[in-house]
Amino acid sequence: MSTETDPIFNTDFIQAMTRQVRALDTYGTQNGWTPEQILEPFVLTKEKRAAIPLIGDPDDLIIERVKCFYNAISVLIEKECNLLAVPLVHLSHEGFGRALITVGKLVVVDKTLRDVHRFGFPSLSKMKDEADKFLSVALERIGAHPEVAGL
C-alpha cells in the first residue's frame, strides 16, 4: 500500500516519527524518500526478526530508532497537554535499559528495555498502537497529577 492510499501516514504519530528520523539525517541521504521508506527500518517481519540473533549488541542506528520512537511520543504528549515532555533513553552496551518520559517532575512513561538489538514492530500500525498506549497512559497520569506535571 502506498503512502497516498494508506491513512496511517496521515496520523500525528507517523508524521512525528517521520520528522524525528529526518532530523537525524544530517547529510540529506533521505531527501526525496517517502515516509514509508523512511520508517521501513522500524518494521520487523517475522522473517526479519528470525534472522536477528537472540543475543547481540545494538548498533548506533538501532539506538537512534529507539530514541526516535520515544521522542515522537514526547512530541504528542506536548501537543496534547501543552507541557514540556522530556524523553530519556538509557541503555547499556548490551541493549538493556530504560526509557522514561517526564513532564515536570512527573514520570509519565517508564518502560524497561531488553534486547534492543531486536527493536521493531510487525507493522507501522502495531507501532502506532504501541505509541497510542503510551500516550494514553501518559495523559491519564498528567490528568491525575496536574500539580506535579506543572512543576
Provide mean pLDDT across the span 77-94: 96
**Whole-number percent of the chain with pLDDT over 70:** 97
Number of domains the chain is built from = 1
List the single range of 13-27, 44-58, 63-77, 97-111 with lowest mean pLDDT. Answer: 44-58
- For residue 82, tell me if it sits in a domain: yes
Residue pLDDT, tens place only, 97-106: 999 999 999 9
- For residue 1, tell me if it sits in a domain: no
List the single range of 8-12, 23-27, 69-73, 121-125 with lowest mean pLDDT. Answer: 23-27
Quote the CA–CA distance of 35 and 83 in Å, as a whole number.
27
Task: Give the CATH number, domain containing residue 97.
Answer: 1.10.3100.20
- For residue 39, tell me if it sits in a domain: yes
Mean pLDDT of the chain: 94
Please give the grid coordinates belonging to residue 20: 524525528
- For residue 50, tell me if it sits in a domain: yes
Question: Taking Cα atoms as reference points, which of 77, 76, 60 lies closest to residue 24?
Answer: 60
pLDDT of residue 100: 98
pLDDT of residue 2: 53
Torsion of CA 129, 133, 139, 141, to 10 degrees: -170
pLDDT of residue 56: 87
- For residue 43, tell me if it sits in a domain: yes
pLDDT of residue 67: 97
**Helix, strand, coil % in the chain, rounded to nearest 5:** 55, 15, 30
pLDDT of residue 4: 58
pLDDT over 80 at 112, yes or no:
yes
Residues spanned by the domain of 86: 7-149
Which residues have C-beta within 8 Å of that of residue 26, sequence separation ≥ 6?
none
Residue pLDDT, tens place only, 47-68: 999 898 988 899 999 999 999 9
- For residue 2, tell me if it sits in a domain: no
pLDDT of residue 3: 55
pLDDT over 70 at 11, yes or no:
yes
